C-alpha cells in the first residue's frame, strides 16, 4: 500500500509511542488521588464489553474521552479518568461452549488483550482503578446491595409471563425480541410463566422524570427519549359496575371529558376478570379460542407493529357510573395488560383505535366534545375527533370546555366514591432475573419453612461455581447444577435451595461509575467519602444506543444508593456526550456487514497518534464518522510534516525569545498563534468540536511554514516561530499525546508537555491589524473606513458604497466606476 520510500520518510512513531507509554506507566502519571486543593473533574467513557478486540467505535469513544481528560488536567483540574470491563454476559458463554473452554478464561484473556490495545492508544487512564464486573471482588458488593435493596422493599419477586428462548435457554427482555424472534439466534420465542426478581424502579418514576429538568448538560434528544420511556400520563381511574354481577371493571383514562361518549368497554385478554365474565357464555369455547389466538399474536409482534384491531363480545355489560348507561364489554387485542388497569372505556367518537373498532363491529359512535366551529355527525365521520372542545350530551357538564371538564369529571368521581385522579407510567419494574451461567448470582436462599432468606453477610460473595458441573460442561446455568443449589437455611438450618438466577448485566453497569471512586474498598460497596468527593461524573461519553436503559438504570441506582446512604448526589452524570457511529460505505461498521477496519492494523501502520487524530478530526463527536482512508493518510502526513519542521530546525533547541519588536511577518505568525489558542480553547470548551480545533492547529502550522519559507524575502524571527511551535504542541497534546510529548523535548524542554498549563491567548495580539481606507466621491474625500488588514478589494468596495456619508454624496446618481487602490483608497466616479 505504501512504498518503502515514503515509509522510511516517516517519523518513528513506534519507538516514540512505546517510550512514552512506558514512561507514563512507570511514573503513574495519570493516577488520581483526592486533592482538595484542586477542583475535581471526573470524565468517564462507557466501559466496553470484552468481546475480544477493540473496534473503531471504541477508538472514537475513548479518544474523545482522553482529549477531555488531558485538556482538563492542563486546565488545572484534578482529573479522575478510569477504565474497566463490563465483563458478564452471554457471548462469553457461547464462546466457551464453542471452544470447550470456560467463560472466565475467555473473558480474562480478552480483557488482557484489549487492555493492551487500549494502552497502545496512549489513553490516560488511572489503571490502578480497573474493574472487571465478573470479578467476585466487584459482584460481592452488588450482592450486598441486592440484599440491602431487598430489605428496603425495593426488590421483590413475582410471576410473570416472560419471553423465553428455547435455544438459548434464557429469558429475553422485550428489546431482545425482534419480530417475535430471539435477537441472538433468530429462533421463535415462547411465552413462559416464571418467578423472577424485580427492581421497583417504578417507585422512582416521578423522581426520574422530574430530575431530567436538572440535566441541562444532556442532549435534548436523550432527555426526550428518557421522558417518553417513563411515559407519565395523568387522568382518571374509575370503576364500571358489571351488570348483574358483583364485579367492577376499573379503567384508566386521560380523557375524562369524554366519559359520556363511552359506547363499549375493552379489556385485555389477560385481564383477571375475563374468566369470570365469559364463563357460562353460549359461545364460551369460541371466546377462549379467540383469546389464545390473540395472545399468540401478541407474542409475535413488537410494540411498533401496526396491528389489525379485533375483539370479541364477552356477553356481559357494564354500567357507566356517570349516566347509568349499559355498554357491552369486549375483549380487544389492542388493550395492554401492562398499562393502566388493563381495561379501557371506549369512546369511538374521540379515540382513533376505538373508532376503528366501532366501525368494524358496528358499535355506536357518540360525539360529546365538539371542537370550535365544527359539527360531528357519527354517520359520516371518517376519523375520531381527538382534539378538545365544548361538551355536549354530557349531562351536568354540558357547555364546559374540555380542560375544565376533565377536572370536574374527576371531582365528581371523587365526591361519589367511584373514582379518583390517577397517574400512570409507561415505565415497568425492572426484571433482573436471568437464567444464565455467566452473571452475578442472586444471593438468596429458598427455605420451605422460612420462605426467602438472604444469604448472610459472612457467606458473601455467593461465588459463581468455576469448576465444571456434574456433566462436565463448564457453563451450565445454575439451575442445572445440584451441587450449587443444595444448601441449608441460614435461619432454621433445614435443607434449602439457593436461588439460581443470575442478575441482568445491566445491574453491573448501573453503579460501576461509583465503584471507580473506591475500587479497592473492602468495608462496603462504596466509601462514602471518596464517592462524595468524585461524584457526579462531570462528563460521561458513550453511544446513543444506551440513551434509554443504561442511563435510566444508572440514574435509578444513583437514587437508590443515595437512599441507602452511600451517595450524596441525585444524578450520576452531569454532562452527557453521545458520540455518533463510525460508518463505512454507508453502513455502521460491523462484522456482519463485513466493512470493519481494524484499529490494530491502523496502529501498526500509522501509529496511535495518527489513528487518534483521524478519529477526532473526521467529524465532530456527536455526528457519525465516515471512514475515509485518505483522511488517515492526511493525518499521518500532517504529523510527519510537523516532525520534519521541528527536527530540521536545531535553533529551536536554543529556545529563542520573542523579539521585543516584531517584524510584519513575525506579527502575522504571532497573531495566528494567539488566534489559534483562542480558537482551539473555545472549540474544546464550548462543544468539544475537536475537528475544528485540529484544523485550527493545521492552519497555524501552515502559517508557520509560510513565514519561514526560505524562498521568501521576509522571514519570521526564530523567537516567534519557537513560540508558535510551543503553542501548537501544547494545543495538540490532548489529541496526539505521544507525538507532542516527544516534540516538546525535541525543542529543548526537560519538562513534560503534560505538565504545561493550558495557554491563554492575548486578545491584543490576536486582533487583526486595521487599516484606514480613504473613500473619495468625484475626487473629494468623503469618508474614512476602518477595515481588517486582510480584507479583499471586493469587500472594501461594498463597504465604501454602503457607507452613509458616501451614499449622501452619491445622492442617487448612477455609479459609473469604483476604483480601489490596494489597501489605501477607493475612488467612486458618478
**How many alpha carbons fall within 13 Å on the CB side of residue 380?**
3
Among 679, 547, 688, which residue's Cα sits nearest to residue 621? 688
The window from 333-341, 532-540, 622-630, 700-708 that contacts ligand ANZ (CB under 6 A) reads 333-341
The minimum distance between CB 448 and Zn ion, in angstroms, equals 7
* Residue 196 contacts ligand ANZ per CB under 6 A: no
Query: What is the DSSP code string of 87-100?
Result: --SHHHHHHHHHHT
In the complex with ligand ANZ, the residue whose CB is nearer, 341 or 510, is 341
The one among 491, 595, 756, 818 contacting Zn ion by CB under 5 A = 491
**CB atoms near residue 659 (< 10 Å):** 14
Determine the Cα–Cα distance for residues 437 and 419; give it in Å rounded to an integer. Answer: 47
Place of cell 363499549: 264
* Residue 309 contacts ligand ANZ per CB under 6 A: no
* Residue 258 contacts ligand ANZ per CB under 6 A: yes
* Residue 450 contacts Zn ion per CB under 5 A: yes
Residue 303 near residue 229, CB atoms below 8 Å: no
What are residue 587's DSSP bridge partners?
Answer: 584
The minimum distance between CB 258 and ligand ANZ, in angstroms, equals 4
Q: Which does 376 bind (CB under 5 to 8 A by kind): ligand ANZ, Zn ion, none?
A: none
Q: Which does 347 bind (CB under 5 to 8 A by kind): ligand ANZ, Zn ion, none?
A: ligand ANZ
In the complex with ligand ANZ, the residue whose CB is nearer, 350 or 674, is 350
The minimum distance between CB 687 and ligand ANZ, in angstroms, equals 35
Looking at residue 217, what DSSP letter applies? B
In the complex with ligand ANZ, the residue whose CB is nearer, 307 or 760, is 307
Given strand 451-454, what is the order of strands in its sheet? 451-454, 444-447, 495-498, 486-488
Residue 368 near residue 304, CB atoms below 8 Å: no
Counting runs of H as helices and runs of E as strands, what totals does the chain give? 27, 34
Determine the Cα–Cα distance for residues 86 and 513; give it in Å rounded to an integer. Answer: 11
Among 348, 372, 382, which residue's Cα sits nearest to residue 265? 348
Grid coordinates given for 388: 378538545
Looking at residue 401, what DSSP letter applies? B
Place of cell 442478575: 503
In the complex with ligand ANZ, the residue whose CB is nearer, 402 or 723, is 402
In the complex with Zn ion, the residue whose CB is nearer, 450 or 791, is 450
The window from 197-205, 237-245, 277-285, 343-351 that contacts ligand ANZ (CB under 6 A) reads 343-351
Task: Pick out residues in 153-182 that bind ligand ANZ (CB under 6 A).
Answer: none
Among 483, 467, 479, which residue's Cα sits nearest to residue 437? 479
Spell out, one character per residue from 791 to 820, where the chain touches ligand ANZ: x when CB under 6 A holds, - when not.
Answer: ------------------------------
Determine the Cα–Cα distance for residues 537 and 44; give it in Å rounded to an integer. Answer: 7
In the complex with ligand ANZ, the residue whose CB is nearer, 309 or 670, is 309
Task: Pick out residues in 344-363 that bind ligand ANZ (CB under 6 A).
Answer: 344-345, 347, 350-351
The minimum distance between CB 352 and ligand ANZ, in angstroms, equals 8
Q: Which does 253 bind (CB under 5 to 8 A by kind): Zn ion, ligand ANZ, none?
A: ligand ANZ
The one among 169, 176, 250, 254 contacting ligand ANZ by CB under 6 A = 254
Q: Give me the long-range contacts of 2-8 (CB less than 8 A, separation at least 24).
A: 2/605
The one among 68, 329, 343, 489 contacting Zn ion by CB under 5 A = 489
The minimum distance between CB 443 and Zn ion, in angstroms, equals 16
Determine the Cα–Cα distance for residues 504 and 512; give it in Å rounded to an integer. Answer: 14
The window from 63-71, 440-448, 479-487, 506-514 that contacts Zn ion (CB under 5 A) reads 440-448
In the complex with Zn ion, the residue whose CB is nearer, 446 or 515, is 446
Determine the Cα–Cα distance for residues 571 and 269; give it in Å rounded to an integer. Answer: 39
Grid coordinates given for 718: 526564530
The minimum distance between CB 385 and ligand ANZ, in angstroms, equals 8
Determine the Cα–Cα distance for residues 261 and 381; give it in Å rounded to an integer. Answer: 15
In the complex with Zn ion, the residue whose CB is nearer, 450 or 596, is 450
Q: Which does 351 bind (CB under 5 to 8 A by kind): ligand ANZ, Zn ion, none?
A: ligand ANZ
Grid coordinates given for 616: 477526532
* Residue 564 contacts ligand ANZ per CB under 6 A: no
In the complex with ligand ANZ, the residue whose CB is nearer, 233 or 663, is 233
The one among 156, 183, 313, 339 contacting ligand ANZ by CB under 6 A = 339
CA dihedral over 780, 782, 788, 790, signed as positive or negative: negative
Q: Which does 63 bind (CB under 5 to 8 A by kind): Zn ion, ligand ANZ, none?
A: none
Residue 657 near residue 719, CB atoms below 8 Å: yes
The one among 13, 252, 317, 506 contacting ligand ANZ by CB under 6 A = 252
Nearest 10 degrees: CA dihedral of 687, 690, 691, 692? 70
Task: Pick out residues in 406-435 that bind ligand ANZ (CB under 6 A).
Answer: 424
Does 536 sit behind a cis peptide bond, omega within 30 degrees of 0 on the bond before it?
A: yes
In the complex with Zn ion, the residue whose CB is nearer, 383 or 449, is 449
The window from 154-162, 260-268, 483-491, 543-551 that contacts Zn ion (CB under 5 A) reads 483-491
The one among 340, 441, 461, 759 contacting ligand ANZ by CB under 6 A = 340
Residue 153 class from Cβ within 10 Å (0-12 exposed, 13-18 middle, 19+ buried)? exposed
3-state secondary structure 272-341: CCHHHHHCCCCCHHHHHHHHHHHHHHHHHCCCCCCCCCCEEEEEEEEECCCCCCEEEEEEECCCCCCCCC
* Residue 447 contacts Zn ion per CB under 5 A: yes
The window from 107-115, 331-339, 585-593, 615-623 that contacts ligand ANZ (CB under 6 A) reads 331-339
The minimum distance between CB 155 and Zn ion, in angstroms, equals 19
In the complex with ligand ANZ, the residue whose CB is nearer, 345 or 680, is 345
The one among 107, 253, 390, 510 contacting ligand ANZ by CB under 6 A = 253
Determine the Cα–Cα distance for residues 70 and 43; give it in Å rounded to an integer. Answer: 10
Task: Pick out residues in 492-521 that bind Zn ion (CB under 5 A).
Answer: 492
Could you give the 3-state DSSP secondary structure of residue 163? strand
Q: In whole angstroms, how large is the CA radius of gyration of the chain?
A: 35
Place of cell 484499529: 599
The minimum distance between CB 195 and ligand ANZ, in angstroms, equals 24
In the complex with Zn ion, the residue whose CB is nearer, 68 or 447, is 447
In the complex with ligand ANZ, the residue whose CB is nearer, 352 or 790, is 352
* Residue 662 contacts Zn ion per CB under 5 A: no
Q: Which does 258 bind (CB under 5 to 8 A by kind): Zn ion, ligand ANZ, none?
A: ligand ANZ
Residue 463 class from Cβ within 10 Å (0-12 exposed, 13-18 middle, 19+ buried)? exposed
In the complex with Zn ion, the residue whose CB is nearer, 450 or 548, is 450
Residues that bind Zn ion (CB under 5 A): 447, 449-450, 489, 491-492
Which stretches of the chain bind ligand ANZ, using CB under 6 A?
233, 252-255, 258, 335-336, 339-340, 342, 344-345, 347, 350-351, 424
Amino acid at each position: 500500500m505504501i512504498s518503502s520510500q515514503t515509509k522510511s520518510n516517516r517519523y518513528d512513531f513506534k519507538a516514540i509511542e512505546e517510550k512514552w507509554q512506558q514512561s507514563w506507566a512507570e511514573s503513574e502519571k495519570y493516577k488520581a488521588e483526592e486533592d482538595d486543593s484542586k477542583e475535581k473533574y471526573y470524565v468517564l467513557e462507557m466501559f466496553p464489553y470484552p468481546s475480544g478486540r477493540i473496534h473503531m467505535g471504541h477508538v472514537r469513544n475513548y479518544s474523545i474521552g482522553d482529549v477531555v481528560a488531558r485538556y482538563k488536567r492542563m486546565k488545572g483540574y484534578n482529573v479522575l479518568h478510569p477504565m474497566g470491563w463490563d465483563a458478564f454476559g452471554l457471548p462469553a458463554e457461547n464462546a466457551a461452549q464453542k471452544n470447550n473452554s470456560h467463560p472466565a478464561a475467555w473473558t480474562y484473556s480478552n480483557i488482557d488483550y484489549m487492555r493492551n490495545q487500549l494502552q497502545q492508544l496512549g489513553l490516560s487512564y488511572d489503571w490502578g482503578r480497573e474493574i472487571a464486573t465478573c470479578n467476585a471482588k466487584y459482584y460481592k458488593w452488588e450482592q450486598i446491595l441486592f440484599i440491602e435493596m431487598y430489605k428496603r422493599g425495593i426488590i421483590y419477586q413475582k410471576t410473570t409471563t416472560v419471553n423465553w428462548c428455547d435455544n438459548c435457554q434464557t429469558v429475553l427482555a422485550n428489546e431482545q425480541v425482534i419480530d417475535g424472534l430471539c435477537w441472538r439466534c433468530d429462533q421463535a420465542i415462547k411465552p413462559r410463566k416464571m418467578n423472577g426478581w424485580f427492581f421497583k424502579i417504578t417507585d422512582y418514576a416521578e423522581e426520574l422524570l422530574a430530575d431530567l429538568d436538572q440535566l441541562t448538560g444532556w442532549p435534548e434528544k436523550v432527555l426526550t427519549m428518557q421522558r417518553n420511556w417513563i411515559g407519565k400520563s395523568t387522568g382518571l381511574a374509575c370503576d364500571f359496575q358489571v351488570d348483574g354481577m358483583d364485579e367492577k371493571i376499573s379503567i384508566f383514562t386521560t380523557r375524562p371529558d369524554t366519559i359520556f361518549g363511552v359506547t363499549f368497554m375493552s379489556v385485555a385478554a389477560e385481564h383477571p376478570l375475563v374468566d369470570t365474565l365469559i364463563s357460562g357464555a353460549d359461545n364460551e369455547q369460541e371466546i377462549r379460542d379467540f383469546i389464545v389466538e390473540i395472545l399468540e399474536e401478541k407474542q409475535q409482534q413488537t410494540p411498533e407493529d401496526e396491528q389489525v384491531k379485533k375483539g370479541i363480545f364477552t356477553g356481559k355489560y357494564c354500567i357507566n357510573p356517570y349516566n347509568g348507561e349499559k355498554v357491552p364489554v369486549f375483549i380487544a387485542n389492542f388493550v395492554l395488560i401492562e398499562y393502566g388497569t388493563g381495561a379501557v372505556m371506549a369512546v369511538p367518537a374521540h379515540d382513533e383505535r376505538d373508532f376503528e373498532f366501532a366501525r368494524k363491529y358496528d358499535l355506536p359512535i357518540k360525539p360529546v366534545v365538539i371542537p370550535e366551529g365544527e359539527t360531528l355527525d357519527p354517520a359520516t365521520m371518517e376519523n375520531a375527533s381527538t382534539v378538545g372542545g365544548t361538551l355536549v350530551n354530557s349531562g351536568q357538564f354540558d357547555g364546559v370546555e374540555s380542560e375544565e371538564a376533565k377536572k370536574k369529571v374527576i371531582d365528581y368521581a371523587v365526591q361519589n366514591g367511584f373514582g379518583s385522579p390517577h397517574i400512570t407510567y409507561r415505565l415497568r419494574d425492572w426484571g433482573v432475573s436471568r437464567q444464565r451461567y455467566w452473571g452475578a448470582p442472586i444471593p438468596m436462599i429458598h427455605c420451605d419453612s422460612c420462605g426467602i432468606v438472604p444469604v448472610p453477610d459472612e457467606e458473601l460473595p455467593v461465588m459463581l461455581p468455576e469448576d465444571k458441573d456434574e456433566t462436565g460442561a463448564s457453563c451450565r446455568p445454575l439451575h442445572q447444577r445440584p451441587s450449587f443449589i443444595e444448601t441449608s437455611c441460614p435461619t432454621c438450618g433445614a435443607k434449602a435451595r439457593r436461588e439460581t438466577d443470575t442478575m441482568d448485566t445491566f445491574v453491573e453497569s448501573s453503579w460501576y461509575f461509583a465503584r471507580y471512586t473506591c475500587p479497592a474498598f473492602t468495608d462496603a460497596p462504596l466509601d462514602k467519602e471518596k464517592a462524595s468527593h468524585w461524584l457526579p461524573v462531570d462528563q460521561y461519553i458513550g453511544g446513543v444506543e444506551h440513551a434509554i436503559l443504561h442511563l435510566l438504570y444508572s440514574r435509578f441506582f444513583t437514587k437508590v444508593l443515595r437512599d441507602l446512604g452511600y451517595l450524596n448526589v441525585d444524578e450520576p452524570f452531569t454532562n452527557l456526550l453521545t458520540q455518533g457511529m463510525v460508518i463505512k460505505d454507508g453502513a455502521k461498521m460491523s462484522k456482519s456487514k463485513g466493512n470493519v477496519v481494524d484499529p490494530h492494523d491502523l496502529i501498526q501502520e500509522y501509529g496511535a497518534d495518527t489513528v487518534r487524530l483521524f478519529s477526532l478530526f473526521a467529524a465532530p463527536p456527536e455526528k457519525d464518522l465516515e471512514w475515509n482512508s485518505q483522511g488517515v493518510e492526511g493525518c499521518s502526513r500532517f504529523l510527519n510534516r510537523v516532525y520534519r519542521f521541528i527536527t530540521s530546525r536545531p535553533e529551536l533547541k536554543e529556545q529563542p525569545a520573542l523579539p521585543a519588536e516584531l517584524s510584519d511577518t513575525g506579527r502575522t505568525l504571532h497573531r495566528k498563534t494567539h488566534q489559534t489558542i483562542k480558537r482551539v480553547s473555545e472549540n474544546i470548551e464550548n462543544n468539544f468540536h475537536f475537528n475544528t480545533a485540529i484544523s485550527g492547529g493545521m492552519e497555524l502550522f501552515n502559517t508557520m511554514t509560510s513565514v519561514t519559507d526560505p524562498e521568501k524575502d521576509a522571514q519570521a524571527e526564530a523567537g516567534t516561530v519557537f513560540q508558535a511551535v510551543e503553542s501548537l504542541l501544547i494545543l495538540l497534546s490532548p489529541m496526539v499525546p505521544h507525538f507532542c510529548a516527544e516534540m516538546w523535548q525535541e525543542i529543548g524542554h526537560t519538562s513534560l508537555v503534560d505538565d504545561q498549563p493550558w495557554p491563554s491567548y492575548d486578545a491584543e495580539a490576536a486582533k487583526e491589524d486595521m487599516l484606514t481606507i480613504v473613500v473619495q466621491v468625484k475626487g473629494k474625500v468623503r469618508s474614512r473606513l476602518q477595515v481588517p488588514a486582510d480584507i479583499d478589494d471586493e469587500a472594501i468596495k461594498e463597504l465604501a458604497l454602503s457607507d452613509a456619508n458616501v451614499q449622501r454624496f452619491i445622492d442617487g446618481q448612477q455609479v459609473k466606476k469604483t476604483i480601489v487602490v490596494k489597501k489605501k483608497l477607493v475612488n467612486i466616479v458618478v
